[in-house]
Structure 1
Amino acid sequence: MNVKTLPLNSRPRERLKQKGASALSDQELLAIILRTGSKKVPALELATEILNFFGDDLHQLKSAELQEFMLISGIGEVKAIELLAMIELGQRIHKSSKLKIGHVSSSYELGCMLAEEMRDYEQEHLLCIYLNTKNQIIQKRTIFIGSLNQSIAHPREIFKTAVKVAAARIVICHNHPSGSPTPSYNDIAFTKRLRECGDLMGIELLDHLVIGGSEYISLREEGLWN
């Protein structure tokens, strides 16, 4: 289906202007991003072929690689690079909107947001949330990214930033790429060490959240704290 043969009010760009982006199908949104098709395939049809290639599964599209896109007829290197850039930007926007400067009221609230953000990470990430005395988020920072078997970062990396941003409290969070949120012996030992460092510096560790898949465990709530 060629966009130019459609009635004006049925074309993706016109529909977006009139009804907003949320009213468009995945195919229409992708056609707008593609801008043009190939010599043989118009943009709407090319968008359909891309979605079909990934089984109409946007989650699969999210993890696609350059060479996968280029297996699709009509997708060259330039379009493949543009699509990858679009996907990465969308993911960054999604992550930044989930945890923005605001107020942390509970481990549950924070755990749910971070579980959604970190559930697909294939490597271990250690994040630190820096808070003021009112539990308002000053900064969120990735302290460490490592291989599946690599140990967690040293406490000095966490507290160096805490001092820099004048944080009164912190919450740390890391993921288990295995999918299980059950804290390990090293997780518990590291938490105790971090609490001791915080006590010496006057910076309170409020909680340590462990993410596994779409679930989390709070070491404070589980009593794995002393």
Structure 2
Amino acid sequence: MSIKFLAEDDRPREKFLLKGKNSLSDSELLAIIMGSGNRDETAVELARKILASVNNNWNQLSLLSIKDLMKFKGVGEVKAISITTALEIGRRRANQEIPEKPVITSSNSAYQIFRNHLSDLRTEEFWAIFLNQSNKVIHISQLTQGGINQSIVDVRVLFKTALDHFSTAIIIAHNHPSGNLKPSREDIDITQQIKTAGNMLNIQLLDHLIITQDSYFSFADDGLL
């Protein structure tokens, strides 16, 4: 359905879904926060009025108290609290530093991440680190849990996760509770399957680590990739 045929109260939400959050005006964003308008005004119209009262400035709007907001017809305590809460979340977000993503520079730097998840387990698990073009970690995920000596990964699940996070490279790892660092035939085969699938999707497999309690084996370092 075209946006122009929808009731104005519904348009901001539909527009958000159809075109994305960046397509919304300030008044449409505020209308979504409020949820509804009043008898005489839609949520968008009421939002325009509120924003106009503060020269369309979010910082000025954040200075209004609950009582100030409730002076507008159709804004009760619940809506006023919703508006104030949204603005407070924005303020806190602005004051927070974006956490620095770790960069993978070697098999050892990948091992330092994986060891926290895999080194002390009694059953096998399969994990993956997903990286961007700068080899910065953008996601870490456990993909499977297995028995004492086997954890099979679904290659489709692995690459769906990579695509969901717009990853351009991956590093995979699993543990050997036995303490044996030698890769099995199954380990070698699944590595080649993942490498081949990654090449088709232009997602590079950088390494496969086997983790034990106090050490690791790297397929890349050993020339097996």
How far 1:193 sits from its partner (Å)? 0.6
Give the number of equivalent residue pairs: 126
Gaps of 5+ in 2: 1-99
State the alpha-carbon separation in 1 of the partners of residues 154 and 116 from structure 2.
26
> What corresponds to 1:166 in structure 2?
166
User: In the alignment, is the contact (CA less than 8 A) between 1:181 and 1:210 conserved in 2?
Assistant: yes
- Structure-to-structure mapping, 1:21-170, within 5 angstroms: 101-170=101-170
The one-letter amino acid of 1:124's match is E
Look up the match of 1:205: 205
TM-superposed CA distance for 1:133, in Å, is: 0.1
Structure 1 stretch 200-209 or stretch 175-184: which is displaced more? 175-184
User: TM-score, length-normalised on structure 1?
Assistant: 0.53
Cα distance between partner residues in 1 of 2:167 and 2:113: 21
Query: Could you say what the CA RMSD is over the residues aligned between the two structures, in angstroms?
Result: 1.5
| Inter-partner Cα distance in structure 1 for 2:136 and 2:130 | 8
1:105 Cα offset (Å)? 1.2
Q: Which residue does the alignment assign to 1:75?
A: none
**Amino acid aligned to 1:138:** I
CA displacement at 1:118 relative to structure 2: 1.8
Question: Alpha-carbon deviations, 1:93-142, whole Å to 9, x = none?
Answer: xxxxxxx8321111122224423542210111111000000001000000
The AA in structure 2 aligned to 1:146 is: G
Q: Which residue of 1 aligns with 2:185?
A: 185
Provide the C-alpha distance between the structure 1 equivalents of 2:151 and 2:173, rounded to a whole number of angstroms.
Answer: 14
4+ residue runs over 3 A deviation:
none
What letter corresponds to residue 203 of structure 1 in structure 2?
A: I
State the distance in 1 between where 2:151 and 2:121 align: 16
Task: Tell me the equivalent position of 1:96.
Answer: none
For 2:167, what is the secondary structure of its paired residue? coil
Please say which structure displays the higher CA radius of gyration.
2
Q: Structure 2 CA distance, aligned partners of 1:147 and 1:162?
A: 25
Distance 1:115 1:183 in 2: 17
Percent same amino acid at aligned positions? 35
Report how far residue 151 of structure 1 moved.
4.2
**How many Å separate the matches in 1 of 2:122 and 2:197?**
29
Conservation of the 8 A alpha-carbon contact between 1:101 and 1:139: no
State the TM-score, normalized to the length of structure 2.
Answer: 0.53
In structure 2, relative to structure 1, the CA distance for the partners of 1:151 and 1:174 (3 Å cut) is closer
Per-residue deviation, residues 46-68 of structure 1 (Å, max 9, x unmatched): xxxxxxxxxxxxxxxxxxxxxxx
Please say if residues 145 and 151 of structure 2, whose CA atoms lie closer than 8 Å, have aligned partners that are also in contact: no
Give the 3-state SS of the residue equivalent to 1:198 in structure 2.
helix
